[in-house]
Amino acid sequence: IYIQCKDVSSSLTDILPSQKQINAQKVIVVIDALDELLTPLDENLKGLSDFVEDNLSIPIVVSCRNGFDVQQKLSNFTHLFLEDLTFGDAKRYVEGQSEFVQKRLQSYFDDEEKRALLTNPFFLKSLVTQAQLPSRRMPDTKAELYDMFVNQCQPEERSADATAKER
């Protein structure tokens, strides 16, 4: 489940999934741009903490800006910090990949909106992984990239589901 918080005026508790929407075996909740919610921070962090406490078995990924200090208020999370890459760093990384991957990623260097994905280490690595799979369509947005990442994280479950459906 991907939740993009940018310019959302609702409280986080209003947009988090309900228990009915969650099958804990097959869900990863990704909350992007937590710092960009238009409602009060403390209210949103309390709602998120309550959600985590009620759903301990569900993996939850939260992104927010580096200077946005939520560490003490979200003490039940592991905190990781990703520094942006320079455009040159991203270009050198892609140049170290196969010619096939380089060709598949060329549109990200040419398109200004897509280019922003190249300077984030998580997005860049995910894009390279997608580009290595010839039969896969390349994502155009962060939401599509997150969706593809989640799908790659659970291949054995998807394989088991497909086998069960065939029966």
pLDDT tens per residue across span 79-108 = 777 678 899 999 999 999 999 999 999 999
Going by the DSSP 8-state scheme, the letter that residue 31 receives in this structure is: E
CB-count burial class (<10 Å; 0-12, 13-18, 19+) for 139: buried
pLDDT tens per residue across span 116-163 = 889 988 889 989 999 998 877 899 888 888 888 877 776 554 444 444
pLDDT at 25: 57
Helix (H, G, I), strand (E, B) or coil at 38: coil
8 A C-beta contact, residue 128 and residue 94: yes
pLDDT at 164: 42
pLDDT band at 33 (very low <50, low <70, confident <90, very high): confident
Going by the DSSP 8-state scheme, the letter that residue 113 receives in this structure is: H
Report how far residue 163's alpha carbon sits from residue 19's, in angstroms, rounded to the nearest whole number. Answer: 27
On whether the pTM is more than 0.75, the answer is no
8 A C-beta contact, residue 115 and residue 108: yes
Amino acid letter, residue 91:
K
Of 26, 81, 31, the residue nearest 51 (C-alpha): 31
Lowest mean pLDDT among 31-40, 52-61, 68-77, 114-123: 68-77
